A = this chain, B = another copy of it.
Amino acid sequence: MTESYYPDVRALHLFSEMADEHFEALMRVSYVQTFPPQIEMITEGDSSDFLHIVLSGAVEQFCTWNGRETIMSTIRPISTFILAATIKDAPYLMSARTLEKSRIALIPSQDVRAVFDADGQFARAIVTELAQCYRSVVKAQKDIKLRTSLERLANYLLRQQRYSGGGQGFDLPIEKRRLALLLGMTPENLSRAFKALQAYGVTVDGAGVHIRDREDLERFAKPSALIDDYSS
């Protein structure tokens, strides 16, 4: 089972087009580690020694400053993270911790940079990936600078509903405490925000969310392709 994850990694956009020999070279120097839940794998400011790939489980990226903490994103399989720091050989800007027991593949950053110099296809894939990451953060920035917390929650629920298949009912993928920090609010405020959305047909029971009438909620949330679309 040692290299059973190769095909999963190879299937990622980032690695699917590169030359076999380069992919093999990267995989040979990489290794897999299994982390228990709630382990801080990366601390912001650390030098970026490895490109990380979440094979199973879940990881969240968070930041702290002056005793405060916020969550930047949660990462689910199969995807990479901290690509930008790896490429720039610069310190991590975000910390990362496991949410669940997780298998993580680690590729030494210097090898990633070496192959990046040698393989044009890989370099191009990295560009696409980075452009995607950049646009995601810009959207997050718009979300937080242009919307109130209630509007952010409403749009989050609409995105989540779509992501989970479009049915009226779905489960929150992370606990509410974390969702609050992800949305830039406190857990108490999130609780009240859920109640406020009852006026637009949203009911919550534990992690379960039910949206009675999507259009009703959309009239309030005013989702925008330029903020809420993950695909573009």
Q: A90 and B184: CB pair below 8 A?
A: no
A132–B65 CB distance below 8 A: no
Tell which of B70, B84, B141, B226 touches A140, judged by Cβ atoms closer than 8 Å.
Answer: B141
Task: Report the interface size for chain A: residues with CB under 8 A from the other chain.
Answer: 51
Q: What sequence of 0s and 1s flags, for each residue 83-112 of chain A, a beta carbon within 8 Å of any chain B beta carbon?
A: 111011011011000000000000000000
Does A167 make an interface contact (CB < 8 A)?
no
Among B127, B146, B184, B226, point to the contact of A70 (Cβ < 8 A). B146
Task: Name which residue of chain B comes closest to A92, CB basis.
Answer: B226
> Is there an interface contact between A124 and B116, defined as CB atoms closer than 8 Å?
yes
With contacts A117-B124, A226-B45 taken as known, whether A90 is within 8 angstroms of B135 at the C-beta atoms is: yes
In the complex, the chain B residue whose C-beta lies closest to that of A232 is B90
- What is the minimal beta-carbon distance from A127 to any residue of chain B, in angstroms? 5
Number of copies: 2
Name which residue of chain B comes closest to A147, CB basis.
B65
Chain B residues whose CB sits within 8 angstroms of the CB of A64 once the complex forms: 146
Known contacts A127-B123, A130-B131, A227-B65, A94 near B184 by CB under 8 Å: no
Question: In the assembly, what is the distance between CA of A144 and CA of B143, in Å?
Answer: 12
Cα(A7)–Cα(B63), bound, Å: 40
| CB–CB A226/B135 < 8 A | no
The prevalent SS among residues of A at the interface is helix
Q: Which of A45, A83, A137 has the largest count of B CB atoms less than 10 A from its CB?
A: A137
CB-nearest residue of chain B relative to A64?
A: B146
Q: How far is the CA of A98 from the CA of B138 in the complex (A)?
A: 20
Task: Say whether B124 contacts A70, CB under 8 Å.
Answer: no
A204 at the interface (CB under 8 A from B): no
Which B residues are CB-close (under 8 A) to A44?
226
State the CA gap A135–B226 with chains docked (Å): 20
Asked if A135 and B93 make an inter-chain contact with CB atoms under 8 angstroms apart, the answer reads yes
A146 and B65 in contact (CB under 8 A), knowing A88-B131, A141-B137? Answer: yes
Q: 4 tightest A-B contacts by CB?
A: A84-B131, A130-B130, A65-B146, A70-B145
